[in-house]
Amino acid sequence: MIDINFHPCLAKVNSFGRIAIWTILSIVSVLVICGAWYASYVFTSGPETSTETVIVTIPRGTSVRGIRDILAGEGVIHRDIRFLMLAKFSGYGTRLQAGEFRLRTGVRPGEVLRELAFAKSIQHAITIPEGLRAAEIAEIFGELGWCNPKTFLKLIADKSFLKQLGFDHLSSLEGYLFPDTYLFTRDINGAEKIIPIMVKRFTDVWGELTAGIQEVPDRGKTVILASIVEKETGSPEERPLIAAVFHNRLRLGMRLQSDPTVVYGSNKFAGLISKKDLLTVTPYNTYTQSGLPIGPICNPGREALGAVLQPAPTKNLYFVSKNNGTHYFSETLTEHNRAVEKYQRKNSDKNGK
């Protein structure tokens, strides 16, 4: 009789079984340890910080590893290889965006990845008021760190750049840099990106304003006249009246005699203009030449453009400042002279002259 407990083949099977069991147990143990190691990171919140949110900038083309280092440097997450694993396993690694974002601190890394995958870049509001010259607009963007002012001014007169924008018939974009409040993300950085946006805004507004007009007037002449209207008054309700005066004067062949055109042509933007300035011939001086100046003297807004396109139904040919931000309008020179005497004398008396 043979004792099966001591059969050589069965002994070998039992040995293999024990090895397999120990191997499986070892693998399971390793997996459990690795899983616990991975989970301890996934379910642990980010570092404690003094602020609830931080602004993080992710440059275009940054790798997932680079993003991890940026986030860790800003105190959003702990710097760990497990962040790279989580980005890959979650599927967010291929969806992480470049830009400037406001992210929460003290949250789990998975939430950070989700926010970064779906967040919108921070938008900065930059307001360009009506009636500014291109040089003043360039200065605003320069002071806020959006572009180099010198580059801005160079580009608006660059022929090849103007051709790209479809404005190669102009010598400068003065007048076509539409004043508005713009919402820019930090990737819109540099004059070459800012200028096309402003010009497109002008084109869109021009289309809106002329949509119901059967015979659209010359755009270039309209912009020039609108720039003068813009500089002549800050009172919105007066713009159609001033536009009407200039339209009437042009129709009758009268000179516009607008002080702001003299200022622009003389580059004398501070202080009072003199009689000599009024008599100095420049392509912009509407006291010494008939018709419109050679180009816009500022960048007009929607209301000034609309006023030139639809001026008030009036026969007025003159206006004089009432020294309170508004003007007195007249049809005849006699009435105008009386108004000048009244309001200019009143102003002189106040100043002790």
Residues 224 and 303 in one domain: yes
Closest listed residue to residue 181, CA positions, set 140, 210, 142: 140
pTM above 0.85, yes or no: no
**From CA 126, how far away is CA 183, in angstroms rounded?**
6
Q: pLDDT at position 9, please?
A: 57
**pLDDT tens by residue, 98-154:** 989 999 998 898 899 999 999 889 999 999 999 999 999 999 999 999 999 999 999
- 243 within domain boundaries: yes
Residues 185 and 232 in one domain: no
Overall domain count for the chain: 3
Q: What is the DSSP letter of 323?
A: S
**From CA 48, how far away is CA 63, in angstroms rounded?**
25
**From CA 244, how far away is CA 318, in angstroms rounded?**
10
Closest listed residue to residue 154, CA positions, set 115, 114, 192, 182: 192
Residues 83 and 104 in one domain: yes
Residues 178 and 240 in one domain: no
Q: How many CA atoms lie within 13 A of 253 on its CB side?
A: 0
Domain boundary among 211, 229, 246: 211
The interaxial angle of helices 191-210 and 302-309, nearest 10 deg, is: 40
Range of the domain at 290: 212-316
Q: pLDDT at position 33, please?
A: 67
Q: pLDDT at position 10, please?
A: 52
Residues 217 and 207 in one domain: no
**pLDDT tens by residue, 31-51:** 666 667 667 777 888 788 888
Residues 239 and 265 in one domain: yes
Chunked mean pLDDT (size 10), the chain, 353 residues: 53 65 69 67 80 90 92 90 87 89 90 90 95 97 95 97 94 97 92 97 97 90 97 90 97 95 86 84 94 97 96 94 88 93 66 33
Q: pLDDT at position 93, please?
A: 87
Q: pLDDT at position 3, please?
A: 53
Q: pLDDT at position 352, please?
A: 33
Domain boundary among 151, 186, 211: 211
Supply the CATH number for residue 92's domain: 3.30.1490.480
Q: What is the DSSP letter of 235?
A: -
Residues 254 and 298 in one domain: yes
Domain boundary among 118, 134, 154: 118
